Amino acid sequence: MEFVKLINCMRCGMCLPQCPTYKETFLETASPRGRVALVRKFEEGELEVSEKLLEYLSLCLDCQACASACPCGVNAGELVAEFRCERKSEQGLGTMESLVLRKLLPHPDRLEAATAPLRLYQASGLQKTVRALGLLKMFPSSLQRMEGLLPALPKAPLRQTIEEVTPARGTEKGTVGFFLGCVMSLIFSEASLATVALLSAVGYRVITPKTQKCCGAPNMLGHDMDGLKDAARFNTDLFNSFEVDTVVTDCGGCGAELKKYGHHLAGDPEAERFSSKIRDISQILAAESETLQTMLKPLPVAVTYHDACHIAHCQGIRSEPRQLLGLIPQLDYRELPEADACCGSAGTYNIEKPEMSDRVLSRKVENIRKTGAQYLVTGNPGCLLQLKKALSEQLPEVKVIHLTELLQMSVDGRY
Amino acid sequence: MDKQLIKSLAQVVGEQYTLADRESLACYGYDSTPELESRPGVVVLPGNQEEIGKVLALCHGAGVRVTPRGSGTNLSGGSISFDGGVILQTSRLNRIIEIDEENLTATVEPGVVTSALHREVEAKGLFYPPDPGSMNISTMGGNVAENSGGLRGLKYGVTADYVMGLKTFLADGELLKTGGKVVKDVAGYNLNQLLVSSEGTLGVFSEITVKLIPKPQCKKTMLVHFPQLEQAALTVSQIIAARIIPATLEFLDRVTIKCVEDYAHVGLPLDVDAVLLIEVDGHPAVVEEEAAGIRAICERQGCSFFQTAATADEALKLATARRVALSALARLRPTTILEDATVPRSAIAPMVKLIQETARKYDLTIGTFGHAGDGNLHPTCLTDERNRDEIERAHRAFAEIFEATIAMGGTITGEHGVGVAKKKYLPLLVGNAGLRVMRGIKGALDPNGILNPGKIF
């Protein structure tokens, strides 16, 4: 770890009011400033790795709201993640971690095969029976939470059904690559279909390489830097082999990770070149506002927007999604209070830290309730999973959808 | 720290809010003051007002020292416990108890965050003006204890000007009520004002009643560049002499301008000595007239650029340079020493010159920005705590700057407090008589000296 990154923190406390866990606890140990202090004291030899130290650091959602607020450019979330990665590389991966991060995620075929039973579980009606009988109570609570998060799956993963090349409609403006995220492909294939359709509609030919692999973000969450670097090298080579200046993604998490390949593979100009090509779908579509606007039909519904951490804090994209919503005729846009506060999903945080995740989520749900919106729009699958489940239970009148799905609804004129 | 005392404290505030593990204590050894750090013995976070009194009574009985703390944004080491004592954090007491629209007062608990109060009262068309730079996280308890200022000080005054009533737990845990909602109150000593800026050495606030005023109907934002420092300083004096009191009259010097431009690319020229950000607020007609008056004065002084914001968005854009000043400076080097030397308005130009000369003499980078309207400057030294030689030079430079401040009729601290960081300069400013009176007051209210010992004097 670069020590100077730690001493750059001037302890002004500007990060505290932005940190979801500080807002819930008021504890310095649960604040970004406190976490930087803990890591620094470890590096200085004043503290050793203890259960308490790891417990305090593990409460970090890594939402990076602190980085957005920091006057000195310190990224506490990233520093904590880096610290945890370093400890992990000393210990090595566990059997289960190694199975998922090394044997499953980097192989889309295996990943899809592994989720097939889930599809069967839902299609056969078994899920309904299991839920009705309360059979899940027999399983560990983390498994229960995972099962609860699972929405209805599409018939097949999008990666299998999508064409590798989707032609532009009308005059072709250029070609873009499409990075299809695992969760988008496996669960939110409708949204990614809409993404590709919108890109084609505004005049782009879209290449979706079938051999692309997971972006590596789960490896980062599992503190597996080697696995992450493997993914980065593979995807860099794959996409750089196509003649495209832009690679689009509609997954906030993937976008944030892909933009960091240049950092992860420091010194590799190819990785830097790849990272510089990455755009969130909202960035591309906002730049094509004029063309897009002519296709949009009225959508007289009340809509609010949740800033995914991976989009707002990690990529600094805030105005483009709002600009796009503003294009839709008759749409009643309502700004969400604390719109860029984490929803508590945070990768696997909602499984690992259920209690704090629920507290952070409750605050989000209350803010959504205040808007009176009929649709909650966001741009990241983790948030979609988390908020779909929460709102179906607590605010069933609010539908949770991806930005491109809403735009496609407007193009189709259906609501 | 005595185990039995920790147990008793836990019985009062709960196990969960009594922190004594190494890791927690390490996180409560600092506030926002550079270079100062010392671990407390235990940290407690009371959950209601009575618990504050009980914690103090316990500590008083045990002869253990207590340092009150809000969000830990103090800039003079005031919220650090230097003798392994108790940190009493008030953040959980964060209720806005009442906004009284008939008497125009707000009553809050000490842990309420300043900007949260702003939001609540402004939603009702009211206004609580004090706006310290840390207002998004600083607490009202801390603001009263430090008498915080902010950008609006020139026209609207500082925290002290708004405190009407206080409930304060004294060192032994007894509750003292002072003032209230009445505008006129001459019953006995003005204890409210004694407790304001007492830096946690006389008592711990449990309830604060502040005055509110009607929210100004509109405001106008202007950004002005001056080739010469003197032109900017003269402009400030002449605006005031023309009987115009802007709500904001902020200043950036050449070093700060360069840092801001490098960082935010807002289009500031690099060949000017000073930039002023000016805001007037109030009745639309008055605002128009005052803005026109200010423009005439700036032009007469030879400003090289004058822009008035036409929309709220544009106003935000114009204010960017000032808003990001601290960020822009702080990013340059790892360690940022932010001071608050304050001189009479008329001495702004010589003061800024002196700061720049001192920086040159000690081979330091010091950017100065701040509240030109009220003479409260923030010379900000950019350094690296690992470079002991440079840090030493910074200390010597600031010692000279503070002595000059006093000689010009100013003060060593306009809004950050004395704490421990400015302790050695206080005698120069207040003299023997000042110290004797302060020590007398401290002895009368806290005879055992358990409240935030070692601070101020």
Q: For residue A133, name the pLDDT band (cuts at 50, 70, 90).
A: low
Name the minimum distance, in Å, from the CA of A374 to any CA of chain B. 25
Same domain? For B317 and B397 the reply is no
Same domain? For B166 and B135 the reply is yes
Coil, strand or helix at B180: coil
What type of residue sits at position B383?
T
Same domain? For B35 and B105 the reply is no
Give A73's contacts in chain B (Cβ within 8 Å). Answer: 331
Q: Is residue B120 part of a domain?
A: yes
State the Rg of chain A over Cα: 21
Q: For residue B443, name the pLDDT band (cuts at 50, 70, 90).
A: very high
What would the pLDDT profile of B295-335 be if each residue is shown by its tens digit? 999 999 999 999 999 998 899 888 888 888 988 898 899 99
| Phi and psi torsions of B222, nearest 5° | -130, 145
Q: For the domain that residue A259 is a member of, what is the CATH number? A: 1.20.1050
Size of interface A-B (CB pairs under 8 A): 83
CB A344 within 8 A of CB A272: no
Best mutation site among A5, A6, A11, A22 for testing chain B: the one with the most B CBs within 10 Å?
Answer: A11
Q: For the domain that residue B384 is a member of, what is the CATH number? A: 3.30.70.2740
Q: Is residue B433 part of a domain?
A: yes
**Among candidate residues B214, B236, B266, the one where a domain is terminated:** B214
Residue range of the domain that includes A50: 3-91
Name the residue with tokens 């090394």: A102
Separation CA A156–CA A154 (nearest Å):
5
Query: Regarding beta strands A278-280 and A204-207, do their DSSP bridges make them parallel or antiparallel, or are they unpaired?
Result: unpaired
The one-character DSSP state at A101 is I
- The H or E element that residue A376 is part of is strand A375-378
**Among candidate residues B298, B323, B348, the one where a domain is terminated:** B323
CB A193 within 8 A of CB A280: no
Give B19's contacts in chain A (Cβ within 8 Å). Answer: 27, 29
Task: State the total domains in chain A.
Answer: 4
Residue range of the domain that includes B18: 3-89
The separation between CA B225 and the C-alpha centre of its own chain, rounded to angstroms, equals: 27
Separation CA B323–CA B150 (nearest Å):
12
Same domain? For B301 and B353 the reply is no
Same domain? For B281 and B368 the reply is no
| pLDDT on residue B1 | 86
Nearest C-alpha neighbor of A37 from the set B21, B333, B26: B26
Q: Is residue B263 part of a domain?
A: no
What would the pLDDT profile of B421-440 be if each residue is shown by its tens digit? 999 999 999 999 999 999 99
- Residue A269: count of CB within 10 angstroms of its CB: 9
What would the pLDDT profile of A241-299 be if each residue is shown by its tens digit? 998 999 999 999 999 999 999 999 999 999 999 999 999 999 999 999 999 999 999 99
The one-character DSSP state at B188 is S
Residues 30-49 of B with CB under 8 A from A: 30-34, 45
- State yes or no: pLDDT of A136 exceeds 70: no
CB B30 within 8 A of CB B80: yes
Separation CA A246–CA A242 (nearest Å):
10
Same domain? For B85 and B101 the reply is no
User: C-alpha distances in angstroms, B92 versus B196, B288, B378, B417?
Assistant: 21, 44, 31, 24
Beta strands in B101-156 (DSSP E): 105-108, 126-127
Give B134's contacts in chain A (Cβ within 8 Å). Answer: 12-14
Q: Is residue B270 part of a domain?
A: no
Same domain? For A312 and A393 the reply is yes
Task: State the total domains in chain B.
Answer: 4
Best mutation site among A5, A29, A74, A80 for testing chain B: the one with the most B CBs within 10 Å?
Answer: A29
Same domain? For B175 and B81 the reply is no
CB B43 within 8 A of CB B89: yes
What would the pLDDT profile of B144-172 be if each residue is shown by its tens digit? 999 999 999 999 999 999 999 999 999 99
**Size (chain A), residues:** 415
Partner B contacted by A163 (CB < 8 A): no
Q: For the domain that residue A337 is a member of, what is the CATH number? A: 3.40.50.10700
Same domain? For B195 and B122 the reply is yes
Close Cβ partners of A18 (under 8 Å, ≥ 6 residues apart):
A65, A66, A68, A69, A341
- Residue B283: count of CB within 10 angstroms of its CB: 12
Q: For residue B290, name the pLDDT band (cuts at 50, 70, 90).
A: very high
A126-133 vs A108-123: helix crossing angle, rounded to 10: 60
Nearest C-alpha neighbor of B43 from the set A34, A196, A236: A34
Same domain? For B37 and B121 the reply is no
pLDDT above 70: percentage of residues in chain A:
97
Q: For residue A135, name the pLDDT band (cuts at 50, 70, 90).
A: low
3-state SS of chain B: helix, strand, coil percent to 5? 40, 20, 40
Best mutation site among B17, B19, B27 for testing chain A: the one with the most A CBs within 10 Å?
Answer: B27
Same domain? For A165 and A267 the reply is yes
Q: For residue A154, name the pLDDT band (cuts at 50, 70, 90).
A: confident
Same domain? For B198 and B303 the reply is no
Same domain? For A209 and A131 the reply is no
Nearest C-alpha neighbor of B127 from the set B155, B87, B92, B86: B155
Same domain? For A77 and A111 the reply is no
Same domain? For A83 and A99 the reply is no
The separation between CA A135 and the C-alpha centre of its own chain, rounded to angstroms, equals: 31
Separation CA B431–CA B419 (nearest Å):
17
DSSP per-residue string spanning A205-254 = EEE--TT----SHHHHHTT-HHHHHHHHHHHHHHHHTS--S-EEES-HHH
Task: Using CA coordinates, name the residue in chain A closest to B138.
Answer: A13
What would the pLDDT profile of A339-393 be if each residue is shown by its tens digit? 999 999 988 898 889 999 999 999 999 999 999 999 999 999 999 999 999 999 9
Query: Which residues are registered as beta bridge partners of B42?
Result: B86
Query: Which residues are registered as beta bridge partners of B365?
Result: B382
Close Cβ partners of A273 (under 8 Å, ≥ 6 residues apart):
A240, A262
- The H or E element that residue B293 is part of is helix B284-300
| pLDDT on residue B10 | 98
The separation between CA B411 and the C-alpha centre of its own chain, rounded to angstroms, equals: 14
A47–B45 CB contact, under 8 Å: no
Separation CA B157–CA B148 (nearest Å):
10
Name the residue with tokens 């990614």: A192
Write out the two tokens for A267: 């010194």
Query: Which residues are registered as beta bridge partners of A333?
Result: A303
The separation between CA B213 and the C-alpha centre of its own chain, rounded to angstroms, equals: 21
Cross-chain CB nearest to B136 (options A14, A29, A38): A14
Q: Is residue B48 part of a domain?
A: yes
What type of residue sits at position A352?
E
Same domain? For A278 and A167 the reply is yes
Name the residue with tokens 């605010």: A395
Name the residue with tokens 């842990």: B111
| pLDDT on residue A140 | 66
Best mutation site among A12, A14, A49, A54 for testing chain B: the one with the most B CBs within 10 Å?
Answer: A12
Q: What is the dihedral of CA A110, A115, A117, A120, to 10 degrees?
A: -130
Single pTM value for the model: 0.93
Coil, strand or helix at B274: strand
Same domain? For A343 and A375 the reply is yes
Same domain? For A243 and A162 the reply is yes
- State yes or no: pLDDT of B291 exceeds 80: yes
Give A7's contacts in chain B (Cβ within 8 Å). Answer: 334-335, 384-386
Same domain? For A21 and A130 the reply is no
Same domain? For B158 and B186 the reply is yes
What would the pLDDT profile of A109-126 be if each residue is shown by its tens digit? 888 887 777 777 777 777
Same domain? For B189 and B235 the reply is no
pLDDT above 90: percentage of residues in chain B:
92
**Size (chain B), residues:** 457
Task: Using CA coordinates, name the residue in chain B closest to A36.
Answer: B27
3-state SS of chain A: helix, strand, coil percent to 5? 60, 10, 35
Query: Across residues B44-70, what is the average pLDDT?
Result: 98
CB A69 within 8 A of CB A18: yes
| pLDDT on residue A91 | 80
B348-361 vs B229-241: helix crossing angle, rounded to 10: 150
Query: Across residues A63-89, what is the average pLDDT?
Result: 91
Query: Regarding beta strands B42-44 and B86-89, do their DSSP bridges make them parallel or antiparallel, or are they unpaired?
Result: parallel
Separation CA B100–CA B120 (nearest Å):
12
Partner B contacted by A27 (CB < 8 A): yes
CB A367 within 8 A of CB A336: yes
